[in-house]
Amino acid sequence: MIILAENGGAAALSIGRQAGKLHFTDLADLPLLVEPRAHRPKEQRWLGLRGLARKMAEPRPPA
């Protein structure tokens, strides 16, 4: 972050993890990453796990 600031880069950053690595995002890019009407990220990796979550939430069959 210091290097970015010294080089006239991003004034404000978001820090997060993606694929197990630290990822820095310029907050100026935030509008490109968010669905404007829904106010949520455009890419949500967890959505691919919804079927598994539904299956795990099903009651166990009687023994």
pLDDT at 5 over 70: no
Residue 62 domain-assigned (yes or no): no
What does the angle CA 26 – CA 30 – CA 34 come to, to the nearest 5 degrees?
150
Residue 38 domain-assigned (yes or no): yes
Say how far apart CA 27 and CA 16 lie, in whole Å. Answer: 12
What mean pLDDT value characterizes the chain?
Answer: 80
At 6 the pLDDT is: 66
Residue-number span of the structural domain to which 30 is assigned: 2-57
pLDDT at 58 over 80: yes
Residue 19 domain-assigned (yes or no): yes
At 1 the pLDDT is: 62
Residue 30 domain-assigned (yes or no): yes
- Counting the structural domains of the chain, the total is 1
Residue 7 domain-assigned (yes or no): yes
Per residue in 36-52, pLDDT tens? 787 777 777 778 888 89
Say how far apart CA 33 and CA 25 lie, in whole Å. Answer: 10
**Which pTM was predicted?**
0.46
Residue 42 domain-assigned (yes or no): yes
